[in-house]
A = this chain, B = another copy of it.
Amino acid sequence: MGIKDDAVEIRAQGWRTLAALHGLIESSMEKALQTEAKLSVVEYTVLDALARQDGWHMRMQQLGRATALSPSATTRLVNRLEDRGLLTRILCADDRRGIYTELTASGSELLATAKPIHDEALECALAEAATLPELAPLVEALPQLHAVVPAS
């Protein structure tokens, strides 16, 4: 039974580390994006996700899953961004319940100016986290997750 308890404790420890690093990055990135681009982290996430689809449309539900947000929060998030002219709703023809969203020109423009801010805040937060002994292992493990397969 000791072995099983160990597994539980190891998972809990990993989760605490994950949550701590997430909180550190998110809060510092939130401030940077908010003051320099008038964007919250989730708003940036949406713009970035839409841009990454590149011409492909995303439904509200996919947006909700990509941001871990409830349907209602997704609705209002899209409302805010639409009111600012950063994206547009597109009723899709084959399923009239569904709603696609698409970046506008000023949306991709704002994303382009926000990306360097996002990237720098991320690098900065990771550097700070690397100095904390309980977070350093996770910081070092992150880049190795999606290791590039050496070109053949």
Query: A interface vs B, CB < 8 Å?
Result: 7-8, 10-15, 17-27, 45, 66-68, 118-119, 122-123, 126, 137-138, 141-146
Contact = CB atoms under 8 A, between A and B. Distances in A.
B13 A146 contact: yes
Contacts of A145: 13-14, 17, 137-138, 141
A26 B67 CA distance: 12
Q: How many copies does the complex hold?
A: 2
6 contacts: A11-B122, A14-B146, A17-B146, A19-B45, A20-B66, A20-B68
A18 B15 contact: no
Contacts of A138: 142, 145
Contacts of A119: 8, 11-12
**Interface residue SS majority, chain A:** helix
A143 B11 contact: yes
B146 A11 contact: no
A68 B137 contact: no
Contacts of A15: 25, 122, 142
Contacts of A26: 19, 68
A8 B142 CA distance: 12
Contacts of A23: 67-68
B14 A142 contact: yes
A18 B140 CA distance: 13
A11 B142 contact: yes
